[in-house]
Structure 1
């Protein structure tokens, strides 16, 4: 099996490279940086821009599946996201279709449904309610994946990741996705025999998880980690909740509050603990 990983230089990509290399005959990792450090056995790095079909199409030749994690991972003006997050997704699906790729596993996001309330308890079939242009790109790509399945029989699994980062705020007690659970989720999205078009939430087994993954249970994803052990410490340090603040009551957190085009990540204390090689 030959796999392609986009966004290999990113924080989440850094944790996926080793397990993906171990489960296939050849892993092609790609990003726009010059290099990604020491390569794992069976891994090759190819520098390519997602927004340039001429660069990305050759990377997908001969691939069985693509794990598509490449994108700008924050809210930006639409024009800045258009290339990597919108056109880049189209290029992956269209180039993948022409190359005979069986399946694409996509890093979608809770921000595709970020304006739903935490108390709604939504499932994987909730309607799109993007909180930003960034979330809109996730909606676009989910719909793109559905269309390519309906019209061309190309499978895809869209992982609506909540918060794959260290737990250092009250919201993360429910939204945390550990790196181990991320790896399990991606692995299940790859090794499940048939997926059609599937949406699944990327969240650990948190007591306070605000979403329901029941309709994606056929993937066999059974998260093992739970952020509750950090609850006492995190809540003791957390400020009082303002129940009129969209950033507090909506699934998108700060992304639900910021103006369109303004950074949501600037309001989150995300620690860059990427895995070094």
Structure 2
């Protein structure tokens, strides 16, 4: 059992799903977000309100930490200036303070939007070149590169989870991109308990028949998804009907983030229903 895990973004959807599992893996779980409080704390769990863009606040979380699960961010497209603090500077603050505190590894919630402009018909692997679809996706590219640099220059491991769609299946795209709640937990558990990882990238996706990505390069992590979105296919496909190849959202891995204008939030979040 680990002595201490720090979880950022604890009030978000993924963070809320992960908290019980993380609490069971460590003696002390320290959670943070920008809300005033969160409910249902485990006996070994504490909550600290902290802004990712505030280095001192983030560094104060890290004393004695072994693993950091960095899930905090603005999770929509928006003006670069709005994403700069939480999504770019926030990642630097996490990596810099974690390595200074002696953390062994950071598990980071990256996203398919780091490679979102690759054609959907291309079955991309974890070594696919960065092709962000938005400033939001660009922040994921930055944090992946940051993690690689800190591994190569300072020896702190990181596992970057390119999550596709961590939400209920509501459209045809999600038949391939769905990451179930239970598989999210399995994914993070393997990212934490694998003995050594160095710098690694793995797609966060369930065992979907229609998965558009290849996780074979990350097999050493031992992630074995159990759920499959095909159970929803008949109902979803009957409701949606034929697709439209002229719609960029249906033709790139980033889905609705593909056609969204740079810096314009809201539209992407309303359309995506995913990560």
SS for the counterpart of 1:41 is coil
The answer to whether the aligner puts 1:265 opposite 2:269 as a matched pair is: yes
Q: 1:275 — aligned with what?
A: none
> 2:178 and 2:17 mapped to 1: Cα distance?
16
Structure 1 position 97, deviation (Å): 1.0
Q: 2:248 — aligned with what?
A: 246
1:24-46: CA deviation from partner (whole Å, max 9, x where unpaired): 10000011100011211210111
1:3-24: CA deviation from partner (whole Å, max 9, x where unpaired): 0000000011000000100111
SS for the counterpart of 2:190 is helix
SS for the counterpart of 1:95 is helix
Q: Which runs of no fewer than 5 residues in structure 2 stay unpaired?
A: none
The answer to whether the aligner puts 1:176 opposite 2:168 as a matched pair is: no
The answer to whether the aligner puts 1:221 opposite 2:223 as a matched pair is: yes
Q: 2:39 — aligned with what?
A: 37
Q: 1:90 — aligned with what?
A: 92
Structure 1 position 119, deviation (Å): 1.1
Alignment RMSD: 1.0
Structure 1 position 212, deviation (Å): 0.1
> 1:270 and 1:142 mapped to 2: Cα distance?
20
> 1:70 and 1:167 mapped to 2: Cα distance?
23
1:238-263: CA deviation from partner (whole Å, max 9, x where unpaired): 14311122100100000011100122
**1:69 counterpart (68, 71, 96):** 71
SS for the counterpart of 1:159 is strand
SS for the counterpart of 1:104 is strand
**1:139 counterpart (138, 141, 151):** 141
> 2:222 and 2:128 mapped to 1: Cα distance?
21
Structure 1 position 195, deviation (Å): 0.1
TM-score by length of 2: 0.97
Q: 1:162 — aligned with what?
A: 164
> 2:274 and 2:247 mapped to 1: Cα distance?
21
> 1:53 and 1:269 mapped to 2: Cα distance?
32
> 1:113 and 1:162 mapped to 2: Cα distance?
11
Structure 1 position 267, deviation (Å): 1.3
Distance 1:270 1:148, change over 3 A: closer
Q: 1:102 — aligned with what?
A: 104
Q: 1:203 — aligned with what?
A: 205
> 1:64 and 1:125 mapped to 2: Cα distance?
27
> 1:32 and 1:60 mapped to 2: Cα distance?
17
**1:81 counterpart (77, 80, 83):** 83
Structure 1 position 217, deviation (Å): 0.4
Contact kept, 8 Å, 2:165 with 2:274, in 1: the verdict is no
- Misfit runs of 4+, over 3 Å: none
What is the correspondence of 1:113-152 to structure 2 with a 5 Å cutoff?
113-152=115-154
Q: 1:111 — aligned with what?
A: 113
Structure 1 position 269, deviation (Å): 4.0
